[in-house]
Structure 1
Amino acid sequence: MNLTGNTIFIPGATSGIGLALATRLHDKGNTVIVGGRRTELLDRIRADHPGLHTVAIDIADPAGVDAAARRVIAEHPDLDVLIAMAGIMRVEDWSSPAGFLDSAEATVTTNLLGPIRLIAAFIDHLQTRPAATIMTVSSGLAFAPLRVTPTYNATKAAIHMLSESLRLQFHGTSVDVVELVPPAVRTDLMPGQRDSDFAMPLDEFADEVIDLIDTQPDATELLVKRVEFLRWGEARGDYAGVVATLNAHDPHAF
C-alpha cells in the first residue's frame, strides 16, 4: 500500500486507532472517509477535521452496510483502500451461558461478520481499480490468548487466517491484502485501557503504523515493535511464557 494518493474508507474510525490513523492518512495526502454508527460523533469529526468525509454505517446491519457502500462508491468512485477497523472487546465468563453467550454472539457479529460484510460490499468495486488494498485489523491476541476475552481472541485469530486466505485468492490481481496487528493501545476498547501503563500510547502506535506503511509498502502484516512479543512467541519457542506473561497483567489493560 502506498502512503499517499489513495481514497480510503475506514468504518469504525470515530475514535481510537481508527480516528488516529484517519487523520494521519489525510495529512499524508489521501482522501479519507470515516464511517461510524453514531451520527453525533461523525458530526464532531467533520467539525474538528474539516478535510475528512463521513458516512453513517452500522456493520451489524447487512442492509446498512450495502447502503453505505453504495453511497461511498457513488461519492468517491476512485476509492481504492478499505480499512475494516470496527471491533468490540468484552470480558466473558464461560462457566455459564448467562455469562458469555450474548457477548460472544455480538463480538462475532461485529469483529468477524462485520469485516466479511464490508469486503463483500466493496470487492467488486476494488477489483476495478488499477491498485487496491484491503486492510484487515486483527490483534496480538490472535497469536496469544488473553484468558478473560475468549471470543475476542477467537475472532481476531479468524481475521488473521481470513487475511492469509484472501491474500492467496487475490494473488496476481490488483487487490492487495494487508493485516494490521495492534498490541494493546491506550483507547476505550476496554474499561481502564486508556490509562493502562501496559498499553501502548495511541499517538506512538499511529505514528509507527504510518512509518511502517511508508517504509514497507509491500508488507503483508503491519507489526509495530510492541506487538512482536505476542506475534512471534510460538515461532521463537516461548509461547507458554508469552501466554503466562500476558495473563499476569490487569485484564482491563487490553
Structure 2
Amino acid sequence: MLRGDLKNLYTDLQTRWVFGYFGLGTLLLVAILLFNGTYESLFEAVRYGLFQFVSAASCTGFQTAGSLGTRWSPEAQLTVSLGMVVGAAAGSTVGGIKLIRALTLVKGTAFRISDAFYPDAAVRYFNINDRNLSESEATREFKEAAIIAFLWVVFLTVGIFVLLTVLPTGEFTLENVVFEVASAQGNVGLSSGITGPSMPTAAKVMFLFNMWIGRLEIIPVLVLLRALFERGGAYR
C-alpha cells in the first residue's frame, strides 16, 4: 500500500469484511442509540456508537461512553457484545471467534446446502479468500471454524451461568453479564460495571479462566489438557 498498490485494501477477503463489519455494526448501534434517545443529538450518537463498536470489534478496549451497563439499553449492549464475540482479524491474540472463521462458517454452510442441487459426479471447489479448496481441504477448514466457534460459545455460556449464580440478585441484568463475559473471554477490556475488586471470588476465577482460554484460542488449551490426561494415564 505504501508503494501505491492500494488494491490490497479490498483484494483480501478479511480486510474487506473487517471494514464492512465495522460499518454495519456502527450503523446498527447508532440507530439503536437514536431510537432509545440515549443521546440528545445525532452527533453524540454517531460519536459514541462509532467509537465503541470499533473499539469492541477490533478488541482495542477503549471505553469513552462511561458505564455502558447503566446508561445503554439492553439491545445496545448486546450489539457491542456481538462485536466482541466475533472479534476482528485472525492471528490476533485477542478477540472472539474471528471474522474469517465466521465467514468460513457462513460460506461453508451455503456450500454444503448447495450440494443438494448438484449431481454426485460434479467436481466442485470451495472458494474462500481467492483460494480454491478441494473437498477435503474445505471440510478441514469448515470443521476447524465450527469447532472453535462451538467451544467459544460453550465457554461463554459457562461464564454467563457462573456469573448469574454468584452475583448479587437484582444488581446486574443478563445483558450486563453477557457483555462482561464476552469482554473477558475476548480479552477486550470493555466493562458494563461488573468487573472490580469487590466482585465475588468465583467470578474472578471464572474471568481468569475466560481470559486464559480466549487468549490461547481454546484449541491449545484442549491440546494441553490432552497431554495432561495422557501423562496421567487417563487413556490407558
Assess same fold via TM > 0.5.
no
**Greater helix share, structure number:** 2
Q: State the TM-score, normalizing by the size of structure 1.
A: 0.29
Q: State the TM-score, normalizing by the size of structure 2.
A: 0.31
